[in-house]
Chains A and B, each alone.
Chain A
């Protein structure tokens, strides 16, 4: 399993202290290699929180998250950061680009913190940008890009390190049908190559691509057909 979420609960520490129930509770999810898992559910049910827990950006209040066979709570913060940088691709709902940098620099951000070959990663960044129709925008500041272009930059950044697992929050939210299909094609190739994708989405096109579909129902995750 690339990702195993076991009986995880999470809520803001202050709320839990005040006796409020956790936002997520008794949540389990297993993601094997070569699979596309999609998670859906109403707004505010904790979909983005689930992705943050899977990425080690949040610590569960109960239960455990195992990523590539390693229990995240047993690793140091630096080890989790390195694991995230080397093997995980994150696509955020709001893209989270550094608007003081160009599109290419944004795609290359993970390379600054890792130790991969810079020239190879730059070539890969350019190839990904070409694939997602961004080649002519690479030298532009990301602040001047449209919403769809920014989302594609974020997807290129997530794919840069050839991650084994991609956690994508609404990966096609800002894309037109044609570009969305292109992005889904690229993500499908990732799955075909043995990697996995966990996507949080309301987009039926994304749901159709998924091998496993889960839905949030009353704070719990249940598999749906």
Chain B
């Protein structure tokens, strides 16, 4: 340790030339840069994820495609995807699975009891391959065809919950619906009849096993095979969800399905969200970088001023045996001490501020949407990036003053008035 003993001369203490208060003041600008970078990146990724998965209903390894030119998410109007097209899509080598989503072909009516009130409504019943929603099924439940005379599992689109909570519940005395509240609850489906097309029907009991962001706002969905077993007509496949082996292949697969006459409207939106997020991330890095650069120039000027004030001390150090390298290291250590304070202050402020802001925002967003996820989750990379930026720019800023300190000629300085 005797090798680095001279750095003890830089230990902050009462009465030192570069006082603790000055160090903190010098650190504030750099800390601001660190703060901005960590804060912006901490919000961008979770918000992007929220928009992609909860609002657009897309997952990184999945693409939802439809045939029609008019679509509302996966709910496509007038465009049926035939078996031949599905087979063609299944042959795309980059795909791991292809999940179908279809309209139940016959009329359908729902009868349920909701907060003591009877509810009867016609509805669009959806049929999906279980793999599409398997990750959204609540623990302890299954989403597959249970066979005849057994309750059929159903997943409910989150959009319907939002519709009920923000519309119906607000205008009536009915309570808000939450995922937890409806899980395991049941209702009856009358298949083959509706208010508009009365007819002979089959009554089946359904149990809600999950809330889905993947099936759009059309209506509740039952397992594809169960629907096929119960329907008189052929299911109308209107959307496919393509699961990719490698999410990086999204662009390649999008082009292939595009050439087959299929469109990926949600994917296009998700790509735009990703692009916007990438731009925001870039600005989130460039702005702090600019702040750090400007501040490091100021830090360099402060250090240069200190060198000019400490010429006599530097000459003294040299006279009692300090090498030029040791003088350089003393001033670089001073610069790095500022960088270290900046990183600690900036990181602390970003984490505290970010979590406080996220907590505030989370009070304004439906809890079902977030499902316990925080809106602020700074990636480790952003912390490393901010720290490296800060250290690097400080090193650059400190280098020139440190070098000019090391180059002082002691005999010449001793002749100057103190």
Contact = CB atoms under 8 A, between A and B. Distances in A.
B203 interface: no
Interface in B191-214: none
A82 interface: yes
Given A94-B418, A98-B313, A141-B15, A58 B411 contact: yes
B369 interface: no
B323 A77 contact: yes
Contacts of A146: none
Nearest to A51: B411
Nearest to B17: A100
A112 B15 contact: no
A193 to B, nearest CB: 21
A90 interface: yes
Contacts of A55: 319
A118 B411 contact: no
Interface in A62-103: 77-78, 81-82, 84-86, 90, 92, 94, 96-98, 100
Interface stretch (B1-9, B24-32, B216-224): B1-9
A69 to B, nearest CB: 19
Interface residues of A, number: 30
A215 to B, nearest CB: 22
B324 interface: yes
Interface string A118-136: 1000000000000000000
Interface in B241-298: none
Interface residues of B, number: 28
Given A82-B321, A84-B321, A96 B316 contact: yes
A114 B9 CA distance: 13
A45 B56 CA distance: 88
Given A115-B3, A118-B5, A78 B320 contact: no
A84 B319 contact: yes
Nearest to A79: B323
A159 to B, nearest CB: 12
A109 interface: yes
A57 B17 CA distance: 25
A78 B313 contact: no
Interface in B1-60: 2-3, 5-6, 8-9, 15-17
A152 interface: no
A74 B322 CA distance: 19
Given A52-B411, A112-B6, A115-B3, A98 B316 contact: yes
Interface in B295-324: 312-313, 315-324
B414 interface: yes
Given A81-B324, A96-B312, A100-B17, A115 B2 contact: yes
Contact of A111 (B5, B16, B316, B409): B5
A77 B418 CA distance: 25
B382 interface: no
Contacts of A81: 318, 321-324
A57 B315 CA distance: 10
A35 interface: no
A90 B320 CA distance: 7
Contacts of B321: 81-82, 84-86, 110, 113-114
Given A115-B3, A118-B2, A118-B5, A109 B316 contact: yes
A55 B16 CA distance: 29
Nearest to B19: A100
B175 interface: no
A109 B411 contact: no
Contacts of A150: none
A86 B322 CA distance: 11
A213 interface: no
Contact of B324 (A57, A77, A111, A115): A77
Contact of A113 (B312, B313, B317, B411): B317
Contacts of B323: 77-78, 81-82, 113
B315 to A, nearest CB: 8
Most buried by B among A84, A92, A157: A84
Nearest to B325: A78
Interface of A: 49, 52, 55, 57-58, 77-78, 81-82, 84-86, 90, 92, 94, 96-98, 100, 109-116, 118, 141, 157
